[in-house]
Amino acid sequence: MEKQDIRICCSLGDEPARIVRSKDYDRLFILTDENTELHSLPLLKEALQDIPFTPVSIPAGDLHKNIDTLSSVWTALSQGGASRKSLLLNLGGGMVTDLGGFAAATFKRGIRYANLPTTLLSMVDAAVGGKTGINFCGLKNEVGAFCPADTVLICTQFLHTLDRRNLASGYAEMLKHGLISTRAHWAELLKRQPGDTSDAGQLTRLIEESVRIKERIVSQDPYEKGLRKALNLGHTVGHAFESFTFHTDHPALHGYAVAWGLVCELYLSARLTGFPTEALHQTTRFIHEHWGHLTFSCDDYPALYSLMLHDKKNTGGTINFTLLRDIGDIALNQTAGRDLIYEALDYYRETCE
């Protein structure tokens, strides 16, 4: 997979115009959802100066990350005269960058695209690394392609439009990057409030470090044959928590579910691969303090276990975990039996008290 050009800035300036003018693109299409069309497109329009573009807008929310929305983007590209030399610029959160990336990967067998992520979660995760796709048959990201963006422009100016919960959601993926990288980065993340944007300079630097951690891993294993699975830390239990809350009155934001999943998977790491208990307890306290508690009882364990069994990362009927031997010391392809997983769920609930 080709390397993505990742740029990080605090305000848009003339960066979007430079990106569009830097290559031989013949037409520019800008994909937004109904929120970013309202709140972010005006900023981008100003930054693009007089560069003409065709706007394409889709409904917001993961519910619309489907084949019908994808088809509407293909239609807009086709009717707008997009060619293999056109650029699709995706302006939005992970839903827009995933779906837009897949539309670009498939239209005329592939046109070029750029991502301009507007949420912290998409800045540090979804918009980087070339995974594109849509949900299909009730399964998340069931159909997609690995296809790198030409450019990812991360502009922290957009973070000021986010509420505390969405900032905390993205910060959970940053914490995961801390855990799989170095003790120094992990410790620095533990010193901040996840929803705090007051020190924009420090936050931009931490985001940059987070993105570089992901970029280093993706460049070594773009197609997730091995090392890239490190990015799944917290996600096996996290996805089960996310699905578990999906049909309730309070569906969890992705990053919240990942944070809660990290508590359980660090517990498994302590039990199976020697992760230090002091780091387990410190991280657990930090997560409980900032991401609140998911309420469930031991009657829910079989349902959660069954959701983990259906995780698409599994092979041969065993649940696949990425665990840690220590901070930055990754143990891939670990497995745990039902009793130990129940013990990890016990640990989660006991430490909530």
Binding site for ligand GLY (CB under 6 A): 125, 129, 131, 228, 231
* Residue 190 CB, nearest approach to ligand GLY (Å): 22
* Residue 264 CB, nearest approach to ligand GLY (Å): 18
* Residue 131 CB, nearest approach to ligand GLY (Å): 5
16/101 with CB nearer ligand GLY: 101
* Residue 105 CB, nearest approach to ligand GLY (Å): 15
112/131 with CB nearer ligand GLY: 131
Contacts of 247 (CB under 8 A, 6+ apart): none
221/343 with CB nearer ligand GLY: 221
Phi, psi angle pair for 5, to nearest 5°? -90, 110
* Residue 218 CB, nearest approach to ligand GLY (Å): 7
Element of type H or E holding 89: strand 87-92
Cα 6 from Cα 269, distance rounded (Å): 32
227/352 with CB nearer ligand GLY: 227
Nearest residue relative to ligand GLY (C-beta): 231
* Residue 244 CB, nearest approach to ligand GLY (Å): 20
DSSP code string of 242-305? HHHHHTSSSPPPHHHHHHHHHHHHHHHHHHHS---HHHHHHHHHHHHHHH------GGGHHHHH
226/302 with CB nearer ligand GLY: 226
Cβ–Cβ under 8 Å, residues 252 and 314? no
Cβ–Cβ under 8 Å, residues 10 and 153? no
132/151 with CB nearer ligand GLY: 132
How far from 89 is each of 77, 127, 153, 244, 311, CA to CA, in Å? 12, 12, 10, 34, 31
Contacts of 105 (CB under 8 A, 6+ apart): 113, 132, 145, 147
